[in-house]
Amino acid sequence: MTVISVPGSATDTVAPTTRRRRKRNVLLIVGLTLFGLLVLVAILAPVLATHDPIQQDLAHARLAPGSPGHLLGTDELGRDVFSRLLYGARVDLRVGVLAVVSPFIIGTVLGLISGWFGGWLDTLIMRIVDVVIAFPFFVLVIALVFALGAGTGSIYLAITMVGWVAYCRIVRGEVLVAKEQEYSLAARASGLPTWRILFRHLLPNVVLQAIVYSMSDIVLTILAIVTLGYLGLGVPPPTPDWGSMIQDGQQFLLTQWYLATIPGLAVVITGLALALIADGLVERFDRT
């Protein structure tokens, strides 16, 4: 009988499947490329734009796409739609991403604390979460923005105050599972300080779901801004943003359908890019 033994090397070796999967992660690559392009467009808006996005030209109002000098036509005030779209990307992506960052951080930290310590702290945090969740998202955001006054600052604040609960719940649930895993026990058994266990050991293990959720949350936030814009509580005019563009274009839906459709498509593409990133991340990091 021959015994094939390769001392040492037989026991480790990087699993070949991980490498293969990393190469094939089409979703993540496509999503990141798409989102990267959007970000690039937003950054390069001053360079790419053909016109000043707020410059009115009533003589050339509502030109069709493809008109000379106006790639995507002009709106009812004669502003160049292409330029407004580019500058709108700046506003919407910035507000969308920024308005997700603080709820993400606040919700994740509170979720970690709530799940790890349990007891009255958990009860307190989760009851606050319940209260916030009891109201429909938009109703609460609109009420808060209304109370705080329109403007990007109020939008950030209102979305943060409402949005953190989702992250808190997601992270808390993951922590409840992770803290009974033996690696958490092992970390406690080796006497590491609690903050270190929480942020070095638990956080990287529980944060994935929150990141995945944040991708769709950015889309939801952009939609919220669009909705707020529609209600006149969004980014104040004349700053171009996709929401107000859709709202302005809506009244011409039967004659100049593209005025509302073009910014709408921009929202769809952003959503698609982020959804692809989210799915790609799950595939990339989920080892189960």
Partner 1 sequence: MTPLLEVHDLHVEIPVPHGHLHAVRGVSLTVDAGESIGIVGESGSGKSITLRALLGLLPQPAQVTKGSIILDGVDVTGLPERRRTKMLTDAMSMVFQDSLTALNPVMRVGDQIAEVPRRRLSMSKSAAHGRAVELMDQVGIPEPERRFRAYPHQLSGGMRQRVCIAIALSAEPRLILADEPTTALDVTIQAQVLAVIDGLRRGRQLGVVLVSHDLAVISQTCSRIYVMYAGRVIESGSIRQLISLARHPYTFALLRAVPDPDLPVHRLLTIPGQPPDLTAVPAGCSFAPRCALAEPACREVDPALMAVPEEPDHGSACIRLETASQWLDWTPVDLPDLLEKT
Which residues are at the interface with partner 1 (CB under 8 A)?
7-8, 10-15, 118, 180-183, 185-193, 196, 200-201, 204-205, 287
* Closest separation in Å from C-beta 23 to partner 1: 17
Tell me the two tokens of residue 209.
């779901």
Tell me how far CA of residue 91 lies from CA of 68, 153, 171, in angstroms: 27, 13, 29
Nearer to partner 1, 127 or 196 (CB): 196
* Closest separation in Å from C-beta 11 to partner 1: 4
Tell me the two tokens of residue 188.
């406690």
Nearer to partner 1, 70 or 201 (CB): 201
Nearer to partner 1, 66 or 193 (CB): 193
DSSP string, 216-279: HHHHHHHHHHHHHHHTT-SSPTTS--HHHHHHHHHTTTTT-THHHHHHHHHHHHHHHHHHHHHH
* Contact predicate 250/258, CB 8 Å: no
Nearer to partner 1, 124 or 185 (CB): 185
Tell me how far CA of residue 93 lies from CA of 58, 97, 223, 224, in angstroms: 29, 6, 11, 12
* Closest separation in Å from C-beta 9 to partner 1: 9
* Closest separation in Å from C-beta 4 to partner 1: 15
* Closest separation in Å from C-beta 181 to partner 1: 5
Tell me the two tokens of residue 267.
């929202």
Nearer to partner 1, 21 or 94 (CB): 21
**Nearest partner of 166 among 110, 226, 121, judged by Cα:** 110
